[in-house]
Amino acid sequence: MENLINSIREEALTYLQHVKTIEELEVVRIKFLGRNGELTNLLKTLGCCSIEERKIIGAECNKLKSYITERIAELKSELSKGGVSNKFDITLPGMEFEEGAYHPITIVQRELEEIFKAMGFMIEDTPEVETDYYNFEALNIPPYHPARDMQDTYWLENGMVLRTQTSAGQQHIMEKSSPPIKAIIPGRCFRNEELDASHDNTFFQLEGIVIDEGISVANLIYTMEVMLSAIFEKNVTVRLRPGYFPFVEPGFELDIRCEICEGKGCSTCKQSGWVELLPCGMIHPNVLKYGNIDSEKYTGFAFGLGLSRLAMMKYKIPDIRAFNSGNLKILKQFQ
């Protein structure tokens, strides 16, 4: 029996000397101290020995068990700290990895932020989960207003909503700032849309507001022309047509000639040759009043630029669903 104890001791020491990882250390622990480990099985045989033998052999087994347990604890501590027991060669070359890339919408957003900062705009961040007040009522859309049916809204159980447009951030800006105000609010929006080449249930917008004395439609048109020429790095063909939005009066739809088909007609522009890019208009006096701004003294304009659609036009991506698809082949183009 004594020879067997010595044999287990030597075998355990050999295993412990060659352990390189915590995983290997656990294998050694199970081999000798586990439920069916070698030392455990030896202790189970003591019932066949005399009382005197049990005392002697039991004491030796417990001594060996204590030693193995302590040594395993020491090695585990060293390995977890990245000690010398890891035998890690710091001179080995590093592993190669593939460099990532910015998402095309992120690229467009950052370019626009630089363009608007150059024109004196602040960049603001407002909540994606809004109250009914900010998403509708403060935008001149009271509970009974039929314009609420224009947006298929995701309502939460607590009565809040996933914002349907970045316009929900306008009142946040007015509440903490006084005119003159020039600010943009980029971010995600959500609507229960029927998915197609130009619609998705999660999309990105960039809201902009300018409030000061003497602001007119001319200021709005000029700002949009400067922005579009800068982002496309060329003159682009646009058209301005009347549009209805409860929070602006008058309201407009700014369309851009489809860059995918160059105006000939495709699935992206629904064969019209034009893509709706930028709802805009003069801020409704009621919206200014909600923001405690004197509508007799100040006027302003607002716009909601579709970042997703702008990225489609800039990079000639024909389907908006590609942005949220997780398809790395698309993103690799922008490395």
Residue 197 has pLDDT above 70, yes or no: no
Q: Tell me, which fold does domain 104-334 have in CATH?
A: BirA Bifunctional Protein; domain 2 (3.30.930)
The pLDDT assigned to 332 comes to 76
Three-state DSSP class for residue 250: strand
**Are the C-beta atoms of 304 and 169 separated by less than 8 Å?**
no
DSSP code per residue over 80-147: HTT-GGG---TTSPPPP-------HHHHHHHHHHHHHHHTT-EE----SEE-HHHHTGGGT--TT-GG
Q: What is the largest CA-CA distance in the chain?
A: 107
296 confidence band (pLDDT: 50, 70, 90)? very high
Least confident of 56-65, 121-130, 299-308: 56-65
**Are the C-beta atoms of 264 and 273 separated by less than 8 Å?**
yes
pLDDT of 53-95, one tens digit each? 777 777 888 888 888 888 888 888 887 776 544 455 667 677 7
Residue 49 has pLDDT above 80, yes or no: no
Residue 249 has pLDDT above 80, yes or no: yes
Least confident of 150-154, 178-182, 261-265, 313-317: 150-154
Cα-based distances in Å from 299 to 101, 167, 195, 278: 41, 17, 37, 20
Helices (H), 129-265: 132-135, 170-176, 217-232
Task: Determine the average pLDDT of the residues in 2-14.
Answer: 80
**Are the C-beta atoms of 164 and 190 separated by less than 8 Å?**
yes
Q: Where are the extended beta strands (E) located within the chain?
A: 122-123, 129-130, 161-162, 181-190, 202-212, 238-242, 248-257, 274-283, 299-306
